Amino acid sequence: MERSQGNVAYALKKQEGWIYNLGVDFIVKLGERGQGRRLAVLEYLTADDEWPGHSHPTEDEIFYVLKGALTFRCGKEEFDVEQGGFVFLPRGIEHGYRIRGDSPAHLLVVTAPAPGPEAGIGWDGFVSGLETTAELRASPKAP
């Protein structure tokens, strides 16, 4: 499949996508380059014990742990996250992680542009519609 641009529907199989190697193979499922993109999705498997501290000035980063156990750092906070767990890391705060145990970590990562102080809240899409019109039946503990 050619690199998708704009509003074109596509499906990817397991281990399929645009693969980039930075010491680890990152499989990009949805890239940032394209008309109107508001997020990017990638997946990777890593046995590296620790990902060094870094920050992103313009985007939030979301991790969903498909397999493994990790401790994420974000600023002064730490979060232990295991298979099926989720962590949100806001823009501009130094973050990283370390793998707990001997098993590699398999991660699904979503990045999205973080609005600046002049921007509105959200972009009024499907999720915004749910949040403003649907009944809230359960919610996690406040962060």
User: Is 66 part of a structural domain of the chain?
Assistant: yes
Instruction: Give the integer Cα–Cα distance in Å for 99 and 50.
Output: 6
- Mean pLDDT of the region 68-97: 96
CA atoms 63, 68, 93, 29: torsion sign: negative
Query: Which domain covers residue 96, as residue numbers?
Result: 35-73+87-110
User: Is 63 part of a structural domain of the chain?
Assistant: yes
If residue 24 lies in a helix (H) or strand (E), which one and from where to where?
none
| Residue for token pair 């990790």 | 70
User: Is 48 part of a structural domain of the chain?
Assistant: yes
28: three-class secondary structure by DSSP: strand
Model confidence at 136: pLDDT above 90: no
- Mean pLDDT of the region 75-94: 96
User: Is 129 part of a structural domain of the chain?
Assistant: no
- Mean pLDDT of the region 16-29: 90
User: Is 138 part of a structural domain of the chain?
Assistant: no
User: Is 135 part of a structural domain of the chain?
Assistant: no
Residue 103: which of 71, 136, 135, 69 has the closest Cα? 69
The CATH number assigned to the domain holding 66 equals 2.60.120.10
Model confidence at 92: pLDDT above 70: yes
Residue 125's pLDDT is: 66
Model confidence at 141: pLDDT above 80: no
16: three-class secondary structure by DSSP: coil
User: Is 50 part of a structural domain of the chain?
Assistant: yes
SS3 content of the chain, % helix, strand, coil (to 5): 5, 45, 50
Residue 74's pLDDT is: 97
User: Is 19 part of a structural domain of the chain?
Assistant: no
- Report the domain count for the chain: 1
Model confidence at 110: pLDDT above 60: yes
Instruction: Between 1 and 101, name the one with better pLDDT.
Output: 101
Dump pLDDT digits (tens) for 50-67: 888 899 888 899 999 999
Instruction: Give the integer Cα–Cα distance in Å for 135 and 1.
Output: 40
User: What is residue 70's DSSP assignment?
Assistant: E
Residues 6+ apart with CB under 8 A from 69: 80, 81, 82, 83, 99, 100, 101, 103, 105
> Two tokens at 4?
């998708």
